[in-house]
Amino acid sequence: MAKKEIIESILIPEDKLLKRVAELGEEINRDFEGEEVLLVGLLKGSVIFLSDLARKIKLPCMLDFMSVTSYGNDIESSGEVRFLKDLDSDINGKNVIIVEDIIDTGLTLREVIKVLKARNPKTLKVCTLLNKVSRRLVDVEVDYNGFDIPDAFVVGYGLDYAQKYRNLNYIGILKLIDE
Ligand code: IMP
Ligand code: MG
């Protein structure tokens, strides 16, 4: 049966997102005072968050991107991670901050951390906009966390369902209903 997609409710409105992103930027400014940072965005979900966050960072700052995907359908990840695009830059000796849209099971991030750690960055931190704590299957250390959210499928502000809804300026809860 065909499913209809509806935004059931707004979980985090734009003003709250922007306020929290500014706070995360300030935390990073404080923690890395006098240093340079490299933001590593995980495509594509992190791009909206990363572009707002980067503009709150007052340190010398570089941007790079990698693309990973987990096998599975649109709503549930299978836990197997596939690397689609690597970084352009060498992270050896750099202060690397992985910027992620959402941590769900933690499986994606665990693989990314493993790969990046092996390249000997000076420091490696994790910054996520959203954190679905109750869904965690593997432990990952989160250094900068925007919001803990309940176990619901969310879209907007970079997050997608079947590549749509990334352009919403808020985080909304998506429901699929039978037509
Ligand atoms: P994890 O490997 O289970 O932690 O999954 C992380 C990835 O799954 C995120 O980077 C998202 O791309 C995707 N994801 C997990 N939960 C959601 C959600 O509620 N909405 C949209 N994407 C999600
Ligand atoms: Mg993602």
State if residue 126 touches ligand 1 by the CB under 6 angstroms criterion.
no
pLDDT at residue number 82:
87
Mean pLDDT along residues 67-90? 80
pTM of the model: 0.94
Count of Cβ atoms closer than 10 Å to residue 128 Cβ: 24
pLDDT digits (tens, 9 = 90+) for 37-60: 999 999 999 999 999 999 999 999
Strands 154-155 and 171-178: what pairing? antiparallel
State if residue 142 touches ligand 1 by the CB under 6 angstroms criterion.
no
Name the residue with the closest Cα to ligand 1, atom 20: 154
State if residue 156 touches ligand 1 by the CB under 6 angstroms criterion.
no
pLDDT at residue number 132:
96
Overall CATH class of domain 3-69+80-178: alpha beta
146 by Cβ neighbours in 10 Å (0-12 / 13-18 / 19+) ranks as buried
Output the CA 88–ligand 1 centroid distance in Å: 24
Residue 114: left (phi > 0), alpha (psi -120 to 50), or beta?
alpha
pLDDT at residue number 80:
73
Mean pLDDT along residues 125-129? 98
